[in-house]
A and B are shown apart, each in its own frame.
Chain A
């Protein structure tokens, strides 16, 4: 099984550019989420989705958009990148009810904004 797949693994952007981080899972998980990991701050929730067509904001949503048109995919869009968005981004998925909090993570996408 592929599990949770994130692309790209590395990306360098200039301030003001836009891009989309892709996330796909093949486990038929209803719940998907995006976190960012910064040194000394652990992981912080950006956006999450409990199913296709349903998304909501997490702790640090500003500057990011998401959509969930299918169960498998949950892309994260940066509309106008800023240096403060330099981070490692993780996508995670899980079964919605059966095992609360048991998240399956992707390998991460390292983003640098110059």
Chain B
């Protein structure tokens, strides 16, 4: 069975600090996808990134970066120079190869990130 663990329930930092959100996953599949979603106070979840199991390249998008390591089954998310607008709940998720388009994501418990001014 697939499982995603986000051990950090809550993180609180001061604005401009760097912060890393941890994500560890379990799967027996050789082909799978990993995701990060953001849930701001407004409530809806917003897609941030997708990685497939064959692409271990790290990715950077502005202040956001993601580190995928198959050897440790981790997909960590770092925010550099955090801002108050980054305050949200962040979810890591995992899915098997979507057979016939069935995209069944398994989510972690979420990490509530608070950026204090």
Contact = CB atoms under 8 A, between A and B. Distances in A.
Interface in B1-36: 4, 6, 9, 33, 35
B101 interface: yes
Interface stretch (A19-27, A70-78, A96-104): A96-104
A101 B109 contact: no
B104 A48 contact: yes
A43 B35 contact: no
Most buried by A among B46, B50, B105, B106: B105
A41 interface: yes
Interface residues of A, number: 32
Interface size classification for chain B:
20 to 34
Contacts of B35: 101
Given A41-B109, A48-B104, A97-B101, 6 more contacts: A40-B109, A45-B106, A56-B102, A101-B47, A101-B105, A103-B103
Interface of B: 4, 6, 9, 33, 35, 37, 42-47, 50, 91, 93, 95, 98, 100-110
14 contacts: A31-B102, A33-B104, A42-B108, A43-B105, A48-B103, A50-B100, A50-B102, A58-B104, A102-B47, A102-B50, A103-B37, A105-B45, A105-B46, A108-B44
Interface of A: 30-31, 33, 35, 40-45, 48, 50-51, 56, 58-59, 88, 90, 92, 94, 96-97, 99-108
